[in-house]
Structure 1
């Protein structure tokens, strides 16, 4: 009988190795151990809920846990405080019964959508108009958390500092339109528990909505309050 060729032997060993890999990939968790696929599924469902309102197409990848865990009949997914719901993030999955444990799974959440960028370089304090802005498509998860996706919402805002052409616009880079202008007559609303008094004064600085600004009253007293639209400042006592 002729001996098998070296090539046939290699093919035979390769087939046995492939079969072994297939068998291992289908092996169920040992008795009493938690199915890692169930943990991933729980984390994915949680992230789908968290990203339901994102303005773009969402894709989610969650990595398997590195350690074996006791079987669980009640799983609960959450995110650690301060974690983003998109981009590179972490999802915690805890067991509530019959034993308590927690595992943290790395995840990558991509959101392909539009965000606002500048058409051309803009100087500091420039008032943004529609001609200054355009939309670009990309992965919002790879951008800062405060990137802006609505160009219309930026009209009338001011650039905090100079901006390069094509710069993604973020909340930290713009300020709302001026609500109070320096030197203008300002309506003061002084309020506290059980009272509210209105008077007039003069703003000592420019301020956007929500900024703290000082106002000189008619009597010459200087008070500090929060700027509101239409040249109004609210002073709380």
Structure 2
């Protein structure tokens, strides 16, 4: 009788285990079809390493994990949304191309430790920069405005647009490029069009930095508009 009861109890326990297993297995099985978030992060980091390879200084990258559970993916495609910064706080997108299609956006932090240009002393507006005005400082370029200047040699002859405080990072938006064309001076006109290029002389009607548009009076009295280039030259496209 004891043996029979033991077999009966064992049979009930076995049925119970089978029942529990039937409840647990369906909950575990779908997890195998979910994408490992670490793989998404790794793909995004690898993409950003390639994008930042040419940046000055030491680059460190941190990418946040996706918040939502996503279906498993065998083919990733990372990208940066239009308008995203190449350093500092930014956003990175990762698409799944197969077997299903989805897109996730991840927050990222790109730190670039390098040198940037600051002013030694307060500078007034319209001040022509010289080497004595400038100094280099080390810091995270990603925490600074995107147009901060990193090479002091690039600022030779530039002017300040407005007053600049001592120790302020110099940005391109705060500076005016050296004059390439001066008002009233003789100017070489280069007129380019389909299948031709003609050079002549003219007179600049305004000051202009390299890349600015400026009007020039020709010897015949006609006024044309072109783009200022170094050496008192203006290029007119037809």
TM-score, normalised relative to structure 2: 0.84
The alpha carbon displacement at 1:104 in A equals 0.6
Runs of 4 or more consecutive aligned structure 1 residues displaced over 6 Å after TM superposition: none
- Tell me which structure has the larger Cα radius of gyration: 2
Q: Deviations along 1:138-161, whole A, 9 cap, x unmatched? A: 111111111110111111112122
The correspondence of residues 88-103 of structure 1 with structure 2, limited to 5 A, is 88-103=89-104
Counterpart of 2:10?
Answer: none
Counterpart of 2:205?
Answer: 204
- For residues 219 and 74 of structure 1, what CA distance do their matches in structure 2 show? 65
Counterpart of 2:32?
Answer: 31
The alpha carbon displacement at 1:78 in A equals 1.0
The correspondence of residues 113-152 of structure 1 with structure 2, limited to 5 A, is 113-152=114-153
Unpaired segments ≥5 residues, structure 1: 1-26
Which of the pair is proportionally richer in helix? 2
Unpaired segments ≥5 residues, structure 2: 1-27
The alpha carbon displacement at 1:182 in A equals 1.0
Counterpart of 2:235?
Answer: 234
The alpha carbon displacement at 1:168 in A equals 0.9
Counterpart of 1:56?
Answer: 57
- For residues 191 and 39 of structure 2, what CA distance do their matches in structure 1 show? 57
Counterpart of 1:68?
Answer: 69
Q: Deviations along 1:34-64, whole A, 9 cap, x unmatched? A: 0001111111111111111121111111111
| 1:30 counterpart SS class | helix
TM-score, normalised relative to structure 1: 0.85
